[in-house]
């Protein structure tokens, strides 16, 4: 009788504590939640670059993809673009592709930016922020490293140094 | 229609005043207040006048509704008058349960004060902003006001209890706090008095001032400015020069009104004390000598029991339904919402203390007084000081 | 830890104060009192009897009403703290800036203490959670013994029990007829009357005793509903801005729903048309009458991956207004705000001296062209476009964002007499000619604006749980507050007839009811022992 009561109480308390703990944990984590986490399959997308070529992520299976989100107005983006361009030339023959996605800007602004920084990799505009939404991005620049199987190996936000860019591309080399 | 409406409200106000006098008479003329089967003629007239006044105010409410096209509970004046009306209505109901005119003597002055206080706000019929255009709003506001009014009856009963039970022969903490409550009520009269006097005299003065963002703005005072606005420059000729200038983050105009009200309250209170030559609580004591304590205690508790579900429904549940429709979330931690929750938590604690700790009688009466103070704070301070989504655009 | 057997034969759990069946006092302490404490019928609250293990100790802690009241009071005070300054969701600046800027050192302290997000803080959540735990345990600990005690009660009660009821009276010389009359009257008054050996127990409104427990269950369900929000996917709360004429993907709908904004409408009250509001409008100035977005909701058909043009099927036309959200498949779209955005700028290419115009051009600020040909050899090329212009730290012109809040251009103007072109920097109310004196000028002519509607997209699958909780709470509160549990005992003791009565509240009503029931019988009205006990101190 006494034992049964103790078990009952323990079970009820355990349920209550678990519920509270979960709530506190979820409340704490809601600010840190990531939509596309490391190890996930990278969401597929298709966009047209400034030359009119279509790029579909899944077509790059077998290669590593360095996926960069940016805007012409964002200062750290301006800084890291030349580094990415340099490393792109180093790695493009080793099976690493750079796809760079501008968020919802005018073609004029993007074209002028490409011309100014002499970018050679494909640049696309995410006119409806669909890809941005799919990747759950709220800060620019954001970079996703996707391996040859289409899995996210790493994601990072904020400015990158040239060394970091090199290291990242090394990581996804097939 | 609008003019008729105002006249009806005014007659209601006068009727309530006369009814109060008759309630006083009924106490003087009656020996045993616990004998609930008979009410003397004074009492009958008082109750009759109260009911006529209530019907008249109901007439105000309906005619104003017709004139405005929406239920008149959409600004500070309308809501507060409605609260006063609900208070009278709640009293009438409780009266017919317990048949004690003494309760009227304590409730009616509170209702009168509430209505007088309401009339100090702009009385124009105002249009509804989009968020307020919902019948849920009207249901929410009226139910909440009725709930609060019933809870306020418990304050009146609690006050009777305290006046009776507190020993006035020597001064102590209890007599002090009871006087403090009395002083609070007197201060409301003070506010009404100074507002009416300056409004009657048509007093106004204008200032140019600099707000906290460094922008220049113009502000109009309706009372002589004791506390002037930040870097205020008096524009009105012969206007009263402010005694002190306030920093930009303080609302100098509201502070000025508060200071005037308290000054008037203190003067009034001092006058009353001078005339009575004793504490207000002590002066009221003879009025309550024939009532039994546990009878008043029961009225007080009963009012809480009746009022609490109504308050929950109106101030929380209907409020949530409306908020869900208007703002897409049923709860948003807006100050007014939080204060409704605080009121609710307070009365919940009250009932638990009463049920399980046996806080009957005097403790319970004090709690009823505090509860009313919270309701008043929610009505007055949260609307005027802590601005939020609910703050009615008054000045 | 043994159960207690009462002389009436009923076996009570350990800790029982009053025998569940006959009401005999089992606790010596209670015998000294003149009136019984009838809370929980004197049943054994389990929490008070076992406190051996840690689990029992925690259980007992939460089982105490005192602890519950303290939790309520602490929550109440904490809630007050959160209303002193606006919470972070009601401010339009970053909190680290806002509080100090608006409220000085006090604001800074308020922010540092975390009070800017008080209601989302872990400790506030913990307080609410502890109230929840207290609700569960307090209720469980009381409702079970109370139920058992009320179920076990017998008609015939112990003398000590009856004597110590608040309402109690003794009658001698009673005939059975009167008792029968009383019995009939009690039945008429909807009492459930039980009879045993000529003794009566009349009872009504017992279900009101369950009110508090029903409302506690309601509250627990309500809190559970609030907790569900933290489960991913249950609760969606997103902002969506859509320009007039554009179609946007509604976020968090699994790329299913698209919203086209045809027109945003803002209406004000008109003083002339609404004479009733004339005075109020004169005092308050412009008052908004309506915020409305005329929208079309689309649903995507077929598969698609992000970036592809979706195939859309129209679901419905709707006018989204405040208080009238568009709802579809559990999603609600609310009109929540709007802004006006610059959409286009129009310039004239003129000769500065003669002010002769060589053509007009309108630049779409969302999608400017590279070159505008004005004919007759005149053309304008945009060398640089800064939608949200500012001078960067190094002095270079740059843009703060992609939103055209403050557009600026570097133009090259080509004319037959200036085949190489002239360069000019043009911003709002500002023209800079970096290479000296130009012949031509881009004269500003006007701007076009476009409204952008702000929507809130909401899905709340936990809503129904909260609704059920709320309804149950209301039922419980009403059940407990508007009904009373009344019991009247009419019993033969020592050749006399004893009348005792108890109610959980509203004694006044009970007394009046007894008066009515006993009217015109030989039975005298029982006395209210509490009232005779506490006669007024001053002596009337």
Identify whether the C-beta of residue B151 lies closer than 8 Å to the C-beta of residue B347: yes
DSSP B30: -
Sequential DSSP letters for C467-517? HHHHHHHHHHHHHHHH---EEEEEEEETTEEEEEEEESS-HHHHHHHHHHH
Q: Which helix (H) or strand (E) holds A62?
A: none
Sequential DSSP letters for A81-145? HHHHHHHHHHHGGGTEEEEEEEES--HHHHHHHHHHHT--S-EEEETTSHHHHHHT--SSSEEEE
Structure pTM?
0.87
Is the backbone peptide bond immediately before C331 cis, with ω within 30 degrees of 0? no
Per cent of chain B over pLDDT 90 is: 47
Q: State whether residue C505 sits within 8 Å of chain B by CB.
A: yes
For residue C72, give the nearest of C138, C134, C123, C120 by alpha carbon.
Answer: C134
Q: Which residue range forms the structural domain that includes residue C522? A: 155-205+484-533
Average pLDDT (C130-145) is 91
- Write b or e for each residue in C372-393: b if 16 or more Cβ atoms lie within 10 A of its Cβ, otherwise e: bebeeebbbbbebbbbbbeeee
In a domain, A38, yes or no: no
Average pLDDT (C119-126) is 90
Give the helix, strand, coil percentages of chain A, each rounded to 5. Answer: 45, 20, 30
Between these two residues, C237 and C132, which has the higher pLDDT value?
C132
For residue B178, give the nearest of B166, B190, B191, B170 by alpha carbon.
Answer: B166
pLDDT digits 0-9 by tens, B301-329: 999 999 999 999 999 999 999 988 888 88
pLDDT digits 0-9 by tens, A43-64: 888 888 888 888 888 888 888 8
Q: Are residues A141 and A102 in the same domain?
A: yes
In a domain, A40, yes or no: no
In a domain, A84, yes or no: yes
- The whole-angstrom separation of Cα B71 and Cα B307 is 22
pLDDT digits 0-9 by tens, C353-373: 888 888 888 888 888 888 888
Q: Are residues C145 and C49 in the same domain?
A: yes
For residue C241, give the nearest of C312, C149, C338 by alpha carbon.
Answer: C338
Q: Which residue range forms the structural domain that includes residue A8? A: 1-33
DSSP B128: P
pLDDT over 70 (residue C525): yes
CA distance B172 to chain C (A): 18
- The whole-angstrom separation of Cα B260 and Cα C267 is 40
Tell me the backbone φ, ψ of residue C513, rounded to 5 degrees.
-65, -40
Question: Which of B228-242, C309-323, C345-359, C440-454 is predicted with the least confidence, judged by mean pLDDT?
Answer: B228-242
Identify whether the C-beta of residue C529 lies closer than 8 Å to the C-beta of residue C35: yes
Give the helix, strand, coil percentages of chain C, each rounded to 5. Answer: 35, 35, 30
Average pLDDT (A99-128) is 86
- The whole-angstrom distance between residue C517's C-alpha and the CA centroid of its chain comes to 47
pLDDT over 90 (residue B91): yes
Q: Are residues A104 and A148 in the same domain?
A: yes
- Name which of B127, B326, B332 is nearest C287 (Cβ-Cβ): B127
Chain C residue numbers with beta carbons less than 8 Å from the beta carbon of A130 are: 249, 255, 306-307
pLDDT digits 0-9 by tens, C377-411: 888 888 888 888 888 777 778 888 888 888 888 88
Question: Which of A11-15, B134-138, B390-394 is predicted with the least confidence, judged by mean pLDDT?
Answer: B390-394
Domain spans in chain B, listed from the N-terminal domain onward = 2-168+278-384, 171-277
Average pLDDT (C241-252) is 87
Lookup result for tokens 């019928």: C41
For residue B50, give the nearest of B87, B16, B93 by alpha carbon.
Answer: B16
DSSP A41: B
In a domain, C495, yes or no: yes
Give me the pLDDT at residue B108, please. 95
- The whole-angstrom separation of Cα A49 and Cα A115 is 14
Identify whether the C-beta of residue A64 lies closer than 8 Å to the C-beta of residue A173: yes
What average pLDDT does chain C have?
A: 86
Q: State whether residue A21 sits within 8 Å of chain C by CB.
A: no
Identify whether the C-beta of residue C415 lies closer than 8 Å to the C-beta of residue C426: no
Nearest CA in chain B to C476: B309
Written as six digits, the tokens of B344 are 């609710």
Sequential DSSP letters for C309-350? PPEEEEEEEEEEETTB-EEETTEEEEEEEEEEEEEEEEEEEE
pLDDT digits 0-9 by tens, C148-163: 888 888 898 888 889 8
Q: State whether residue B348 sits within 8 Å of chain C by CB.
A: yes
Q: How many CA atoms lie less than 13 Å away from C341 in the CB half-sphere?
A: 19
Nearest CA in chain C to B1: C276
pLDDT digits 0-9 by tens, B176-185: 999 999 999 9
pLDDT digits 0-9 by tens, B324-342: 888 888 888 888 889 999 9
Q: Are residues C304 and C389 in the same domain?
A: no
Max CA separation in chain C (angstroms): 132
Q: Are residues C438 and C349 in the same domain?
A: yes
Hey, which residues 24-53 in chain C have their CB within 8 Å of chain B? 37, 39
Q: Are residues A93 and A24 in the same domain?
A: no
Q: Are residues A98 and A14 in the same domain?
A: no
Q: How many CA atoms lie less than 13 Å away from A52 in the CB half-sphere?
A: 0
pLDDT over 60 (residue B228): yes
Sequential DSSP letters for B48-63? HHHHHHHHHHHHHHHH
In a domain, C539, yes or no: no
In a domain, C211, yes or no: no
**Which of C399, C428, C460 is the last residue in one of the domains?**
C460
pLDDT digits 0-9 by tens, C257-302: 899 999 999 888 887 777 778 888 887 778 888 899 999 999 988 7
The count of structural domains within chain C is 4
In a domain, C518, yes or no: yes
Q: Find the CATH number of the domain harbouring A162.
A: 3.40.30.10
Give me the pLDDT at residue C50, please. 57
In a domain, C478, yes or no: no
DSSP B116: H
CA distances from C472 to B243, C462, C468 (A): 57, 16, 6
- The whole-angstrom separation of Cα C48 and Cα C272 is 73
Sequential DSSP letters for C33-53? -SS---GGGG---GGGT---S
Q: Are residues C388 and C427 in the same domain?
A: yes
pLDDT digits 0-9 by tens, B48-88: 999 999 999 999 999 999 988 889 998 889 999 999 999 99
Average pLDDT (C330-340) is 89
Give me the pLDDT at residue C48, please. 54
In a domain, A41, yes or no: no
Q: Are residues A117 and A89 in the same domain?
A: yes
**Which of C130, C150, C170 is the last residue in one of the domains?**
C150
**Which of C85, C116, C150 is the last residue in one of the domains?**
C150
Q: Are residues A97 and A145 in the same domain?
A: yes
Q: Are residues C197 and C243 in the same domain?
A: no
- The whole-angstrom distance between residue C292's C-alpha and the CA centroid of its chain comes to 25
Q: Which residues contact B327 (CB under 8 A, 6 or more apart)?
A: B131, B389, C334, C336
Neighbours of C108 (CB within 10 A): 14
Q: Are residues C55 and C137 in the same domain?
A: yes
Chains in contact with B, where contact requires at least 3 CB pairs less than 8 Å apart = C
Lookup result for tokens 């109009």: B220
- Does B touch C (3+ CB pairs < 8 Å)? yes
B-interface mutation test, from C68, C83, C293, C475, most B Cβ less than 10 A away: C83
- The whole-angstrom separation of Cα C174 and Cα A138 is 87
Q: Are residues C183 and C245 in the same domain?
A: no
Q: State whether residue A111 sits within 8 Å of chain C by CB.
A: yes
Give me the pLDDT at residue B33, please. 53
Question: Inter-chain contact A130–C255, Cβ cutoff 8 Å?
Answer: yes
pLDDT over 60 (residue C66): yes
Q: Are residues C244 and C173 in the same domain?
A: no
pLDDT digits 0-9 by tens, A100-110: 898 888 888 88
Per cent of chain A over pLDDT 70 is: 97
- The whole-angstrom separation of Cα C142 and Cα C64 is 10
The count of structural domains within chain A is 2
Question: Which of A65-69, A132-136, C168-172, C194-198 is predicted with the least confidence, judged by mean pLDDT?
Answer: A132-136
B394 confidence band (pLDDT: 50, 70, 90): very low
- CA torsion, ordered C393, C398, C404, C409, to nearest 10 deg: 130
Q: Are residues C350 and C430 in the same domain?
A: yes
Q: Are residues C334 and C352 in the same domain?
A: no
Q: Which helix (H) or strand (E) holds B107?
A: helix B101-118
Chain C residue numbers with beta carbons less than 8 Å from the beta carbon of A107 are: 367
DSSP B313: I
Q: Are residues A12 and A54 in the same domain?
A: no
Q: Are residues A113 and A149 in the same domain?
A: yes
- The whole-angstrom separation of Cα C11 and Cα B393 is 66
Written as six digits, the tokens of B102 are 């003494």
Helix axes B293-311, C463-482, angle to 10 degrees: 160
Nearest CA in chain B to C104: B249
Q: State whether residue C122 sits within 8 Å of chain A by CB.
A: yes
Give me the pLDDT at residue A50, please. 86
Hey, which residues 317-336 in chain C have their CB within 8 Å of chain B? 321-325, 332, 334, 336
Give me the pLDDT at residue C538, please. 35
Chain C residue numbers with beta carbons less than 8 Å from the beta carbon of B346 are: 76
Q: Are residues A70 and A156 in the same domain?
A: yes
For residue B115, give the nearest of B163, B175, B56, B169 by alpha carbon.
Answer: B56
B141 confidence band (pLDDT: 50, 70, 90): very high
């Amino acid at each position: 009788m006494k034992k049964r009561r103790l078990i009952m109480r323990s079970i009820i308390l355990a349920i209550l504590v678990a519920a509270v703990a979960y709530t506190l944990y979820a409340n704490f984590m809601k600010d840190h939640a990531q939509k596309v986490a490391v190890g996930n399959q990278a969401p597929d997308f298709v966009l047209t670059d400034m030359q009119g070529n279509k790029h579909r992520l899944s077509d790059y299976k077998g290669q590593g993809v360095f996926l960069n989100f940016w805007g012409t107005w964002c200062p750290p983006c301006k800084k890291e673009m030349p580094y990415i361009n340099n490393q792109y030339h180093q790695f493009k023959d080793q099976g690493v592709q750079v796809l760079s996605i501008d968020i919802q800007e005018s073609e004029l602004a993007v074209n002028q930016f490409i011309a100014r920084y002499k970018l050679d990799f494909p640049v696309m505009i995410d006119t409806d922020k669909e890809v941005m939404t799919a990747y759950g991005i709220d800060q620019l620049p954001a970079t996703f490293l996707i391996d040859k199987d289409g899995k996210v190996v790493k994601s990072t936000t904020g400015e990158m140094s040239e060394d970091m860019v090199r290291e990242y591309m090394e990581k996804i080399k097939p | 229609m609008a003019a008729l409406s105002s006249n009806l409200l005014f007659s209601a106000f006068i009727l309530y005043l006369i009814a109060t006098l008759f309630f006083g008479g009924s106490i003087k003329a009656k020996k045993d207040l616990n004998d609930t089967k008979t009410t003397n003629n004074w009492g009958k007239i008082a109750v009759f006048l109260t009911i006529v006044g209530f019907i008249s105010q109901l007439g105000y409410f309906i005619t104003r509704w017709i004139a405005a096209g929406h239920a008149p509970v959409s600004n500070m004046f309308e809501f507060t008058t409605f609260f006063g009306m609900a208070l009278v209505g709640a009293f009438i109901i409780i009266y017919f349960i317990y048949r004690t005119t003494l309760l009227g003597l304590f409730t009616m002055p509170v209702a009168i004060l509430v209505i007088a206080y309401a009339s100090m706000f702009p009385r124009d019929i105002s249009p509804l902003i989009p968020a307020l255009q919902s019948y849920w709003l009207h249901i929410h506001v009226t139910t909440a006001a009725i709930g609060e009014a019933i809870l306020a009856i418990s304050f009146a009963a609690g006050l009777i209890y305290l006046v009776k039970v507190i020993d006035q022969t020597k001064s102590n903490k209890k007599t002090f706090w009871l006087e403090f409550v009395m002083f609070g009520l007197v201060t409301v009269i003070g506010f009404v008095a100074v507002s009416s006097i300056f409004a009657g005299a048509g007093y106004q003065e204008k200032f140019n001032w600099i707000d906290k963002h460094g922008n220049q703005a113009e502000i109009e005072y309706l009372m002589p400015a004791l506390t002037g606005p930040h870097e205020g420059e008096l524009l009105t000729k012969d206007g009263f020069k402010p005694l002190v200038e306030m920093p930009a983050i303080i609302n100098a105009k509201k502070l000025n009104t508060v200071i005037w009200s308290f000054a008037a309250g203190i003067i009034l209170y001092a006058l009353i004390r001078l005339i009575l030559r004793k504490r207000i609580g002590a002066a009221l004591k003879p009025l309550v000598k024939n009532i039994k304590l546990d009878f008043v205690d029961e009225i007080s508790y009963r009012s809480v029991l009746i009022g609490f579900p109504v308050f929950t429904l109106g101030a929380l549940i209907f409020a949530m339904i409306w908020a869900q429709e208007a703002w897409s979330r049923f709860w948003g931690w807006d100050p007014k919402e939080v204060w409704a929750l605080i009121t609710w938590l307070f009365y919940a604690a009250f009932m638990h203390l009463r049920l399980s700790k046996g806080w009957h009688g005097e403790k319970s009466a004090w709690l009823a007084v505090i509860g009313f103070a919270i309701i008043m704070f929610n009505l007055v301070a949260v609307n005027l000081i802590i601005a939020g989504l609910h703050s009615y655009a008054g000045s | 830890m043994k159960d207690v057997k009462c002389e009436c034969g009923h076996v009570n759990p350990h800790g029982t104060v009053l025998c569940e069946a006959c009401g005999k006092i089992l606790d010596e302490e209670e015998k000294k009192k003149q009136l019984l404490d009838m809370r929980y019928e004197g049943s054994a609250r389990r929490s008070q009897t076992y406190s051996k293990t840690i689990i029992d100790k925690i259980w007992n802690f939460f089982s105490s009403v005192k602890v519950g009241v303290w939790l309520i009071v602490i929550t109440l005070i904490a809630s007050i703290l959160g209303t002193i300054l606006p919470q972070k969701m009601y401010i339009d600046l970053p909190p680290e800036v806002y509080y100090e800027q608006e409220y000085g050192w006090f604001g800074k302290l308020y922010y540092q203490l975390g009070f800017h997000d008080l209601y989302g803080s872990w400790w506030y959540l913990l307080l609410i959670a502890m109230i929840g735990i207290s609700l569960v345990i307090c209720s469980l600990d009381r409702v079970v013994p109370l139920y058992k005690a009320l179920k076990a009660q017998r008609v015939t009660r112990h003398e000590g029990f009856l004597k110590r009821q608040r309402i109690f009276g003794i009658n001698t010389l009673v005939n059975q007829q009167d008792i029968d009359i009383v019995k009939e009257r009690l039945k008429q008054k909807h009492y459930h009357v039980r009879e045993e050996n000529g003794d009566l127990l009349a009872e009504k409104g017992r279900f009101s005793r369950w009110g508090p427990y029903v409302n506690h269950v309601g509250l627990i369900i309500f809190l559970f509903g609030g907790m569900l929000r933290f489960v991913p996917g249950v609760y969606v709360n997103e902002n969506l801005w859509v320009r007039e004429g554009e179609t946007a993907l509604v976020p968090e709908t699994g790329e299913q729903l698209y919203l086209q904004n045809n027109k945003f409408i803002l209406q004000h009250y008109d003083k002339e048309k609404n004479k009733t509001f004339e005075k109020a409008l004169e005092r308050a100035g412009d008052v908004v009458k309506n915020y409305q977005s005329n929208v079309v909701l689309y649903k995507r058909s077929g598969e698609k991956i992000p970036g592809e043009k979706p195939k859309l099927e129209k679901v419905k036309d709707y006018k989204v207004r405040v208080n009238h959200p568009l709802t579809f498949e559990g999603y609600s779209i609310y009109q929540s705000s709007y802004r006006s955005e610059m959409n286009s700028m129009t310039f004239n290419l003129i000769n500065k001296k003669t002010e002769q115009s060589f053509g007009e051009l309108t630049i779409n600020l969302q999608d400017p062209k590279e070159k505008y040909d004005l004919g007759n050899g005149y053309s304008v090329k945009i060398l640089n476009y800064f939608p949200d212009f500012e001078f960067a730290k190094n002095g270079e012109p740059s843009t703060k964002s992609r939103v055209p809040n403050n557009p600026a251009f570097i133009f090259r103007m080509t004319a037959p007499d200036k085949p190489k072109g002239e360069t000019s920097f043009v911003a709002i109310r500002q023209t800079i000619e970096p290479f000296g004196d130009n012949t031509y000028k881009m004269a500003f002519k006007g701007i076009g604006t476009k409204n952008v509607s702000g929507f809130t997209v909401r899905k709340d699958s936990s809503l129904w749980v909260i609704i059920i909780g709320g309804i149950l709470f209301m039922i419980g509160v009403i059940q407990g507050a508007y009904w009373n549990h009344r019991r009247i005992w009419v019993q033969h003791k020592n050749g006399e007839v004893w009348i005792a009565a108890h109610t959980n509240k509203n004694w006044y009503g009970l007394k009046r009811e007894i008066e009515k029931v006993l009217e015109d019988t030989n039975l005298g009205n029982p006395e209210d022992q509490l009232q005779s006990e506490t006669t007024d101190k001053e002596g009337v």
